Structure 1
Amino acid sequence: MSAPPPLNAIRAFEVAARSGSFVQAGAELGVTSAAVSQQVKALEVHLGKRLFLRQGNRIALTDAGRAIYPRIEAALGELAAVTAELMSGRDRARLIVSVLPSVAELFLAPALRGFDGLGGVEVRIEEDPVIFARDGVDLRITYGAHAYPDHHAETLFRDRLVPVAAPGFAAPECGLKHLPDGAFIHTNWGPAYATQPSWAAWFASKGLSRRPELRAGLNVGTTSFAVAAARAGLGVALVPERIAGGEIGSGCLVLANPGALTMSWDYVLVWPHALQRKPSLRALIAHLKARAVEGSDDGLEDRA
């Protein structure tokens, strides 16, 4: 059996491959970029493979580097998880769940009710992308899996965008096309997302050419704030129906128009391949998927 490569060299390779820079890798590891380069060279010598193409200050993975990176990233993630479990002093494995802010508040919090292992769950509210190996994350709940091509991903649900408002603000018979531009709440999820809850796209799906002026209405950065703003009577918001289902079901928000627009991507569960057999993780995934199925049976779609 051949000797394994040095752990420091493996770590240096993983950080350099993830960041795309020896300088950034050195900053993360607390060493110089030259030290990172030396560690990577040592790994290349050990494996007999060239892992990076070096072009001045830029680096790019070779075919060999791309082939081994997902497995190394997963292995380091498993090592981090095992270490965290041993150091936690708990009898059962600790689960770290990373989740988008709005999904955490409007879906995950109520969905965790009834989960037997709740005492072993730590929830982190984060934007995409997250680094599983570095942060010891077990499970990510996010919109679309495109940021995690080397991980296991399963669909939680596909949502639809629906217009909502506080009761009495905009009755369905009023017709959104007659509302002033200042009555629309606009949500911009930021540069990490190619798709946004767009009023122009919603109107286009109804065969209408209206494009409410962005500067006239309230602009927000998260779905949870769009929901809060609509609930406060500040306007009509375009929000994911399932994510805002609790607010709609309780009557705090009403559908302001009987129309919906299917979203471009699924909400997904993402986790490292190395954790596939972790019992506590499998139990949580099964629980969340069951709650997602229950939510689809609540009849929200019928109200639109």
Structure 2
Amino acid sequence: MKNPLRHLNALRVFEAAARHCSFAKAASELNVSHSVVSQHIRNLEAWFGTDLFIRYGNRVELSEDGRDLLPQIASGLQILTDASETLLRKTRSGTLVVSAEPALASLWLRKRITEFCDLFPRIEVDLRPAWTPAQIGEGQADMLIHFETRIPRSGVTKDRLFAIDGYPAAAPDLRDSLASRDDQIDWDRALLIHDNGKETWHKWYLAHEPDSAGWRSGKVHSDLSLAIDAAIDGEGIILADDILCQREISSGQLVRLDPRSVRCVWYEIALPREASRSSASTLFKNWLLEQSQTLRE
């Protein structure tokens, strides 16, 4: 029998397509075109002499032979992945300087860096919060994680991390006091809490209360962490979200007041265009994208 591993790439494509029941989603995950996925599957089907998928126009589902094959292929690929990751954790080393937007750095990224360094103990990540991203490369920063509007337009490769969708939230006591007044918020006179300017609340008002200028009022804090603390203390209503404010929302320290939300910002990761695929920065970027995949869906 000819070497079965000569179709290893095609088997990897098959596993992704079978897991998603979609050639398009497999192509997106593997960063290849739909036609490449289709060709790999055709090659496998010709090699095995059987159909692995049943096609229904643009929709596919596993055939009986495909269902029999999937568990063994998935298990084999996982063994290869685990073996590779175990060795990488022992051998990858270096220092990685990350310049990140302060709220993201303190409320989400710090914990992920700790998890990453536990997995790769020979890689040191130097996290440097900064409102203005550092210069990338030239001995200053190996990676930028910031608002997409502040990422350089040239000299870098960029990947979207996740978006922030903000909605009105407040401390339970403040919510209860509003409920005692028929649960109606007077958005002209609402006591607002802003972070780093009034732009985000302005977006929300434009989308949902366009005739009101209530966004102009309220106290401005220089950092989201300070704004969150003020909201927890009952000082007003904040535009919270399910990522950076996840701990406060899940614990009940902040509660949602209004179902209406607004897209506040996208966070992006940027690396120098010449960054090596085997570098610590590329490894960390890929790990972060994997950890945040569900947040982009």
Whether these two folds match at TM > 0.5 is: yes
What is residue 211 of structure 1 aligned with on the other side? 213
Q: 3-state DSSP class of the match of 1:271?
A: strand
TM value normalised by structure 1: 0.58
- 147, 163, 175: which one aligns with 2:184: 175
Q: Secondary structure at the match of 1:111?
A: helix
Q: Displacement of 1:275 after TM fit?
A: 1.4
Structure 1 residues 127 and 222: CA distance shift in structure 2, 3 A: same
Q: Distance in 1 between matches of 2:231 and 2:120?
A: 35
SS in 1 for 2:152: coil
Note the C-alpha offset of 1:230.
0.7
Q: 1:275 aligns to what SS in structure 2?
A: coil
1:206-285 equivalent positions in 2, closer than 5 A: 206-212=208-214, 214=216, 216-263=217-264, 265-285=265-285
Q: For residue 7 of structure 2, what is the aligned residue in structure 1?
A: none
Q: Say which is worse superposed, 236-245 or 288-297, in terms of deviation.
A: 288-297
Q: Say if 1:188 and 1:197, in contact at 8 Å, map to a contact too.
A: no
State the partner residue of 1:117: 120
| Cα distance between partner residues in 1 of 2:292 and 2:250 | 15
Deviation at 1:272, TM superposition (A): 0.5
Runs of 4+ in 1 over 3 A off after TM superposition: 178-181, 294-297
Correspondence for 1:13: none
| 1:201 to partner: Cα distance | 2.7
Question: What do residues 117-146 of structure 1 show as CA deviations (whole Å, max 9, x unaligned)?
Answer: 365111111122311234431111101155
What's the RMSD between the two structures over aligned residues?
Answer: 2.7
TM-score where L is the length of structure 2: 0.59
Q: Distance in 1 between the 2:100 and 2:150 partners?
A: 15
1:159 matched to 2:164:
yes
Judged with a 3 Å threshold, the aligned counterparts in structure 2 of structure 1 residues 114 and 205 are, in CA distance, closer, same or farther, namely: same
CA change 1:98–1:202 in 2 (3 A) is same
Count of equivalent residues:
199
Q: Give me the whole-angstrom Cα distance separating, in 1, the residues matched to 2:276 and 2:214.
A: 46
Q: Is the 8 A contact 2:188 2:213 kept in 1?
A: no
Q: Contact conserved, 1:165 with 1:255, CA < 8 A, in 2? A: yes
1:137 to 125, 136, 141: 141
Percent identity of paired positions between Structure 1 and Structure 2: 21
Unaligned runs of 5+ residues in structure 2 are 1-90
- C-alpha spacing 1:278/1:136, structure 2 compared with 1 (3 Å): farther
Asked whether the 8 Å contact 1:99–1:140 carries over to 2, the reply is: yes
